[in-house]
Amino acid sequence: MEEKIHAIYAAAETALSQTTKEEEIEEIRVRFLGRKGELTQILRGLGELPSEKRSFIGKLANEIKTKIEHAIQSKLDTIRASRFSRLIDEEWIDVSLDSPRSTGEYSRGHLHPISQIQYEIEDIFTSMGFTILDGPEVETDYYNFEALNIPWYHPARDMQDTFWTEDGNLLRTHTSAIQVRGMETHRPPFRVIGPGRVFRYEATDASHENTFYQVEGMMVDREISVAHLIYFMKVLLREIFKTEVTIRLRPGYFPFVEPGFELDIHCLICNGKGCSVCKQSGWVELLPCGLVHPNVLRYGNIDPDQWSGFAFGLGLNRLVMMRYGINDIRHFLSGDIRFVCQF
């Protein structure tokens, strides 16, 4: 037994001398000192030894255990010290060198293309008398659905599946929730826009993300008509694209507007020929809109017999894609600096 214990020590020393890696040291520790380790087995079996041998072997095994522990620690110290000295050699910093910024090696950062276009849209609308509103990204069911004429049983909820918190709140699926908050804080006549990030539980492809940006717009005044709506939408697109873009207006269903429309623009990626972004149709769905449903006005404590309004929800990512010819929406959140540096 005595020879066996000495042989274990010799084996541990050899194993330690042959390694230079921290992770291998852990394997050695487990092999000799772990729960099923060679030395641990001996210590566990002490009870079966004759009593005259028990205390001698027990003492020896414990001494060897301590020696192996020390040898392991000392090997670890050596490995770590040599790693640090290598790092000091390889990664030293010359503090007397000019900074990259002063030599012009790095260019300054800039706003993400979505923020750039959002600020442009804010400027366009504030110049037309609109106020900018904000709202929380984690919303209540009431603001995101209920007060937009989408009660819990309404099938329109299926089109905007989302992420729910355990206490019954949700990640807002659209900036339309800001409309409802706007009606609580503003009395007609008013004009507001609400930009923000929205979330949907959906499969991604070239034109769909689970996290994207919208700008909501709402105007409430006397006798607002579809003509007002079209006027403001045309101004917006002309200012953004700096040219007339071909649009089409088709009926669209949203429970919070009546009538509701989908405003599509001619795909600027493929010039209407058909591509993955426009799903080969030549048109990109960009700007759903309509006249505010009387129920929504009622939820906002606004009398629909006295006041009417229009609302729209612009998809910002797709607008940026059209402006710069970006062929896949997933680039926006890719975190690839080479993508954002182009704008």
From 224, 133, 223, select the one nearest 178 (Cα to Cα): 133
Which CA distances in Å does 182 have to 7, 193, 231? 81, 9, 22
Check residue 308 for interaction with ligand FA5 (CB under 6 A).
no
CA-to-CA dists, residue 100 to 8, 92, 97, 199, angstroms: 56, 16, 9, 38
Q: Does 186 bind ligand FA5 (CB under 6 A)?
A: no
Q: CB under 8 Å to 77, separation ≥6 — which residues?
A: none
Q: Binding residue for ligand FA5 (CB under 6 A) from 311, 320, 322, 326?
A: 311
Structure tokens of 30? 């487990």
Pairing of the two strands 211-221 and 190-199: antiparallel
Which of 315, 321, 326, 332: binder of ligand FA5 (CB under 6 A)?
315
Minimum distance of ligand FA5 from residue 125's CB (angstroms):
14
**Residue bearing tokens 């449903």:** 293
Binding mask 32-51 for ligand FA5 (x = CB under 6 A): --------------------
Which token pair is 102?
Answer: 């002063």
Using CB under 6 A, which of the segments 50-58, 79-87, 222-230, 280-288 binds ligand FA5?
A: 280-288
What is the three-class DSSP state of 112?
coil
Whichever of 65 and 174 has its CB closer to ligand FA5, that residue is: 174
Q: Which of 12/287 has CB closer to ligand FA5?
A: 287
Q: Is 214 in the site for ligand FA5 (CB under 6 A)?
A: yes
The amino acid present at 82, given as its one-letter code, is: S
Q: Is the separation of the CB atoms in 5 and 57 below 8 Å?
A: yes
Site size toward ligand FA5 (CB under 6 A) is 23
**Choice from 128, 285, 294, 333 touching ligand FA5 (CB under 6 A):** 285
Write the binding mask 120 to 159 for ligand FA5: x where contact by CB under 6 A, - elsewhere. Answer: ----------------------------------------
Whether the bond between 151 and the residue before it is cis, its omega within 30 degrees of 0, is no
Which residues of this protein are in contact with ligand FA5, per CB under 6 A?
Answer: 174, 176, 200, 202, 208-209, 212, 214, 254, 257, 260, 285-286, 288-290, 311-313, 315, 317-318, 329
